[in-house]
Every structure is written in C-alpha cells, then in structure tokens.
Amino acid sequence: MATLCLKAKGWHFRFHPFRHLTSSVLNDLGVPIGVIQRIFGHENRSTTERYFHSIGEADQRQL
C-alpha cells in the first residue's frame, strides 16, 4: 500500500481511521459493545470505547 501511495504523488493512506469510523457507526447503530469489541479483537472494553466518536445526523445520512 505504501508503494501505491508514493506513486499517487505522495498521498498517504492509512487504514486506522476506518477502524474508528466503523466502530463509531456500529455503536451509533446500537450494536452491543461486546460484539464490537470481539470484531476488533480488543481485550479491554475501554480500548473499544476509545474508538467511538459521535457521528452527526447529516454525516449519518451520507453513509
């Protein structure tokens, strides 16, 4: 992936922000935190909770 990014004029792509987005969407949809925790492979609930960010209604409609 890094090689492809360099070929794209130095554009830097990271997958980690998608983990935050996915966990936030799942949380906003009411998926139990234990399920989200297992999906992400977190041992501690507090680790999973750090990934949650509020997504505004306008942004949710765009998803």
Whole-number pLDDT of residue 4? 73
DSSP 3-state assignment of 53? coil
* 11 sits in which H/E element: none
Here the tokens at position 14 are 């990271």
Per residue of the chain (63 residues), give pLDDT as tens. Answer: 667 777 776 666 677 888 888 998 899 899 999 999 999 999 999 989 888 876 665 555 555
Whole-number pLDDT of residue 61? 57
The ranges assigned to domains in the chain are: 16-62
Whole-number pLDDT of residue 19? 87
Here the tokens at position 16 are 């980690």
